Amino acid sequence: MEPLSWTGSLGSTLIPALTIAAAVFVAGVILQLVMGFFAPEVKLQSNSDGTLQSRGGLLGRLEVYNGYLFTLVVFLIAAIVVVSWFMPYGKAGILGEISKQFLPVWIALIVTFVLSITFKRKLGLYGKLFDSTIGMIGFALVMFWVFTSIFVGLFDMIATHDPLQQISGIKNKTPGFPVPEGQDADFFPHYLLGGDNLARDIFSRVVHGSVIVMVIAPLATIFAFMVGITLGLPAGYYGGRLDTLLSFLANLILAFPVILLFYLLVTPEIVATGLPNYMAAFLFVFPLVFFGVLINSRYKTQGSKNTLYLALVLIPLAFLYVNVVSDADSPLHVWPESLDFITIPSGILVVFVSVVFVNSPTVYRIVRGLALDIKTRDYVAAAQTRGEGTWYIMLWEILPNARGPLIVDFCLRIGYTTILLGTLGFFGLGLPPESPDWGSTINEGRKLLLIYAHPALPPAIALLSMVLGLNLLADGLREESLKD
């Protein structure tokens, strides 16, 4: 087998065209930015069709051209993706082959976008997201990784090799290096993004890494929100001593440099003391408390319904809880092993717990601030004057009306959690060193960075695109939710 080149036979036509178009576009944007500073504030002009024309003149024309260029760039990228699908193996180069590997993701993305844009007026805030370009780009980036993790994690598609398999002879080899003859013939004939210092396929490691991130980051963020909401609402609503105490504790955690905290919490010695298990037992109670109080406050007046709903929600949750918390090798062994279906490796548990622990105080502060603001509204006073319980007021009158900022922060926080996970991986904390998660992979790659730069770059770019997507998504959501 020949090594693959980056662009294959597309290299002579489409790729140069794309490069030129992209370069011109970037130059145009910079020029436009510079001109924007010196251009006078232009008065708006209305057109007869009821639209507004914001600018004329040189700058206006430049803006129009930049718009066309951007469309051209997008079109060229799409063309490369589509064309490569129909080329025989090896002709489309590394980029083409990668794009072929992602075929299920492309299809899923297109289906999602077509459906969402068609029904966007019926979909509330989610639908409005498709009015904002920024939001759409962010959503596409996030969904790309979501679908990737689903197809990799559930269906074992996309990845070309086993992320842990080492094939001798490809150690630190550059992208497109062919797998030597006589190794395993079932495997894909090339290492698309090269091999790392243990001769594992980097491409497969990166797509497998997305599964770990996609499982831990959103879940940890959800738990952090549960903790933050359950503590932040009463602190903001009642104020007084409770608020002082909780805020002091939150500030205590916030004053801790995150890395120091990680180094103290995520070490084998700490795991040996069982501290993470106790913390998990404490933090994982919050969803139970939250949902219990949520349902009870709402249906308290209707006895039988209340019991039914509580049972429906709390029994499965409690079952999950003991399953997760109780483990044979943890100090909290309270549940018979024969009924224990979930065992979380202690490394993942400690990572999870510390990420939740670090994120909760910030969520607490946000929720507390929102509660302080919303509790002065008349509808809260109306609820008070009809004798509602305080938890009902907090969870059903205040919380739903704080959802806008909380959803936005949720997106941002998943990104932040992803960064934290990466940080942990970067310092080799928690997760096992062979784990394909992005942080650990960057950590592996950076050691030889000055000699072999290619192993560290793909996970870095993957993490960047994912966090960027979440940030853009949050920005789009914020903008759209502020509009009405």
Partner 1 sequence: MGLFILRRLGVMILTAICLTFIVFSLTNLYPNLEKLAKTQGNFRMSDEAVTSYLTNRGYLQPRLVKYGQWLGVMPGYVIDGSDGETRARCAANRTPDENTATFCGIIQGEWGQSTVFKEDVSGIVSTRLGLTGKLMFWVMMVMVPGALIIGVLAGMREGSRTDRSLSTISIISTATPEYVSGVILIAVFATPLFGMQYFKGTATSAMDDANFNNFFLPVITIALYGMGYIARMTRASMTEVMTAQYIRTARLKGVSFPNIVMKHALRNALIAPFTVIMLQFPWLLNGVVIVETLFNYKGFGWTLVQAASNNDIELLLGVSVVSVFVVLITQLISDIGYVFLNPRIRIS
Partner 2 sequence: MDYDLRNDAYDGPILEIDKLSISFFTRLREIPAVMDFSAKIQPGEALGIVGESGCGKSTVALGVMQDLGVNGRIVGGSIKFKGRDLNTMTQEELRDIRGSQIAMIYQEPMASLNPAMRIGKQLMEVPMIHEGVSEKEAYERALEVVTDVKLPDPKRMLNSFPHQLSGGQQQRIVIAMALMSKPSLLILDEPTTALDVTVEAAVVELVKDLGKKYGTSMLFISHNLGLVLETCDRICVMYSGEAVERGSIEGVFDNMQHPYTQALFRSIPLPGADKNARPLIAIPGNFPLPHERPQGCNFGPRCDYFEAGRCDQGYIPMGDAGDDHESRCLRFQEIDWNAPIAVGAQTEKPEPGRVVLKMDNLKKYYEVAASALFGGNSKKVVKANETLSFEARESETLAIVGESGCGKSTFAKVLMGLETATDGEILLDNKSIGNVPIEDRDTKTIADVQMVFQNPFDTLNPSMTVGRQIMRALEIFKIGNNDNDRRERMLQLLDLVKLPRAFADRMPRQLSGGQKQRVGIARAFAGDARIVVADEPVSALDVSVQAAVTDLLMEIQREHKTTLLFISHDLSIVRYLSDRVMVMYLGHVVELGTTDQVFSPPYHPYTEALLSAVPIADTKIKKKHIVLEGDIPSAMNPPSGCPFQTRCNWKDKAGRTLCETEVPPVRMLAEGHQVKCHLSDVDLAEMEPVIEIAAE
Site of interaction with partner 2 (CB under 8 A)? 40-41, 44-46, 50-52, 131, 301-302, 377-379, 381-388, 396-397, 400-401, 403, 484
Between 291 and 427, name the residue whose CB sits nearer to partner 1. Answer: 427
- Give the integer Cα–Cα distance in Å for 350 and 344: 10
When binding is defined by CB under 8 A, the residue of 44, 450, 483, 484 that contacts partner 1 is 450
Q: Long-range contacts made by residues 166-171, C-beta under 8 angstroms, separation at least 24?
A: 166/198, 166/199, 166/200, 167/191, 167/195, 167/199, 167/201, 168/199, 169/199, 170/194, 170/195, 170/199, 170/201, 171/195, 171/196, 171/197, 171/198, 171/199
Candidates 172, 182, 175; CA nearest to 160 is: 175
Structure tokens belonging to residue 219: 């879940």
| Least distance in angstroms from the C-beta of 30 to partner 1 | 9
Restricted to residues 48-77, the positions that interact with partner 1 (CB under 8 A) are 63
| Least distance in angstroms from the C-beta of 46 to partner 2 | 5
Between 238 and 256, name the residue whose CB sits nearer to partner 2. Answer: 238
Between 122 and 386, name the residue whose CB sits nearer to partner 2. Answer: 386
Binding mask 414-433 for partner 1 (x = CB under 8 A): -x---x--xx--xx------
- Give the integer Cα–Cα distance in Å for 366 and 370: 6
Candidates 79, 100, 91; CA nearest to 5 is: 91
| Least distance in angstroms from the C-beta of 110 to partner 2 | 25
Cα torsion angle, 404, 409, 414, 415, sign: positive
* 401: partner contacted, choices partner 1, partner 2, none (Cβ within 5-8 A by kind): partner 2
- Give the integer Cα–Cα distance in Å for 322 and 333: 9
Between 66 and 84, name the residue whose CB sits nearer to partner 1. Answer: 66
If binding is defined by CB under 8 A, does position 263 make contact with partner 1? yes
If binding is defined by CB under 8 A, does position 38 make contact with partner 1? no
Kindly give, in sequence order, each residue whose CB lies less than 8 Å from that of residue 417, ignoring residues fewer than 6 positions away: 216, 217, 218, 220, 221, 224, 355, 359
Between 128 and 161, name the residue whose CB sits nearer to partner 2. Answer: 128
If binding is defined by CB under 8 A, does position 33 make contact with partner 1? yes
Between 263 and 396, name the residue whose CB sits nearer to partner 2. Answer: 396
Cα torsion angle, 431, 459, 361, 318, sign: negative
Q: How many CB atoms are closer than 10 A to CB 65?
A: 14
When binding is defined by CB under 8 A, the residue of 5, 32, 362, 401 that contacts partner 1 is 32
- What DSSP state is assigned to residue 195? B
The DSSP H or E segment spanning 191 is strand 190-191
If binding is defined by CB under 8 A, does position 23 make contact with partner 1? no
Binding mask 103-142 for partner 1 (x = CB under 8 A): -------------------------------x--------
H helical segments located in 86-193: 93-101, 103-118, 124-128, 133-155
Q: Which amino acid is at 283?
A: L
Restricted to residues 281-300, the positions that interact with partner 1 (CB under 8 A) are none
| Least distance in angstroms from the C-beta of 379 to partner 2 | 4
* 403: partner contacted, choices partner 2, partner 1, none (Cβ within 5-8 A by kind): partner 2
Kindly give, in sequence order, each residue whose CB lies less than 8 Å from that of residue 45, ignoring residues fewer than 6 positions away: 52, 53, 56
When binding is defined by CB under 8 A, the residue of 36, 345, 432, 433 that contacts partner 1 is 36
- Give the integer Cα–Cα distance in Å for 37 and 101: 44
Which region among 210-218, 229-237, 390-398, 452-460 touches partner 1 (by CB under 8 A)? Answer: 452-460
Between 71 and 251, name the residue whose CB sits nearer to partner 1. Answer: 251
Side-chain-side CA neighbours of 142 within 13 Å: the count stands at 24
Q: How many CB atoms are closer than 10 A to CB 211?
A: 21
Between 19 and 267, name the residue whose CB sits nearer to partner 1. Answer: 267
If binding is defined by CB under 8 A, does position 405 make contact with partner 1? no
Between 216 and 470, name the residue whose CB sits nearer to partner 1. Answer: 470
Candidates 174, 261, 201, 263; CA nearest to 441 is: 201
Binding site for partner 1 (CB under 8 A): 29, 32-33, 36-37, 41, 63, 134, 248, 251-252, 254-260, 263-265, 267-270, 272-273, 275, 415, 419, 422-423, 426-427, 439, 442, 445-446, 449-450, 453-454, 456-457, 460-461, 463-464, 467-468, 470-472, 475
